[in-house]
Amino acid sequence: MRPFRIYYFLLPLTTFLLFSCEDVVNLPVDSMPELVVFSNFSDQNGLEVYVYKTRSILSNEPTEYVENAVVKVFAGEELLEQLNLVVPDESIPYYSTNHLTPEFDKEYTIEVNVVGYQTITAKNSIPTPVNLEDVSFEPLVSPGKGNDVMVHFYTSVSLRDPVGIENYYHLKFYQELTPFTVVSSTDTIFGATYLAYPTSVDKIDENAPPTKYDKDQSYLIKDTYFDGQYITFNFNGLYSFNPTETVPGRFLIELRTVSKAYFLYHESLNRQFQNNGSVGEGDVVFNNIDNGVGNFAGFTSKVNSFKLTD
């Protein structure tokens, strides 16, 4: 299983927001760098906006993150907040709101100003969430290689799609793992709990509408063929962990109701993943940033959790 960077609240803090850094945008040789702006935002947190520069495909230089930008967020013509620069230790700098909690179906505009560049703007909103109506998780535990434990699982996920509305979803699966070190017979040190993706999650009905998002072992879904219906998706999956190094926590199933811009961006990334990173006709990564490149898109999240022993 692959660990990844995530902001989330463990129980009893209820819910979480995921941000995964995407591949750095590259430009042809001798092209002037453009500004990349990235923010997938939720009602559960304020805005976090990442700003960096594109680079030549021949460059070996590290990504240049911009730390002198002026980033503002508006609702219509009203300035809601100017974002503050956050520079975490040994991590990626970003700009964050202090007070704003985005509301459902309200359009927000970000404005990014960097000396030497045109003003960048982007607009998007958070869709009203669709609930998980019924979710099941049936694990089967067996020995794996070495000290590993294999967990084969079946899961079904049901939702009631709102009628007459074009809806987009991102269905994600994670396993909580907590690393530990045994210091003595009476003393064990536990590390920070993290989330890991399953090794595989495969839909049982090949004709079902979910599209596997290969990089993340999750699924992108558009309601074109089930508008307004109660629908169930079924999956078989697999993951493993080493019980001598980590303690498994909850298995999480997250349904994101996402904006069209979120869906189109990740759908376009998925086409590139399937083409091994090559860019063909129609494979250009979706961009909704004016005077720059990137993605500014909202989503809401509903999560069900299960214990391995359930």
Determine the structural domain holding residue 229 and report its residue range.
Answer: 132-257
**Domain identity same for 57 and 123:** yes
Query: What predicted TM-score, i.e. pTM, was given to this entire model?
Result: 0.86
Helix (H, G, I), strand (E, B) or coil at 225: helix
**Domain identity same for 102 and 18:** yes
Residue 172 and residue 256 in contact, taking contact as beta carbons nearer than 8 Å: yes
Residues 6+ apart with CB under 8 A from 66: 35, 51, 52, 53, 114
Does an H or E element contain 82, and which? strand 78-82
Q: How far apart are CA 304 and CA 33, in angstroms?
A: 42
Helix (H, G, I), strand (E, B) or coil at 75: strand
Number of domains the chain contains: 2
Let me know if residue 55 belongs to a domain: yes
Residue 18 and residue 171 in contact, taking contact as beta carbons nearer than 8 Å: no
276: phi then psi, degrees, rounded to nearest 5 = 55, 35
Does an H or E element contain 95, and which? strand 94-96
Q: How far apart are CA 56 and CA 197, in angstroms?
A: 31
**Domain identity same for 199 and 289:** no
* pLDDT tens for the chain, residues 1 to 310: 544 333 222 222 223 333 344 444 554 444 678 999 999 999 988 899 999 999 876 777 888 999 999 999 999 999 999 999 999 988 899 999 999 999 999 999 999 999 999 999 999 999 999 999 999 999 999 998 899 999 999 999 999 999 999 999 999 999 999 999 998 888 999 999 999 999 999 999 988 999 999 767 899 999 999 999 999 999 999 999 999 999 999 999 999 999 999 999 999 988 887 776 555 555 688 999 999 999 999 999 999 999 886 4
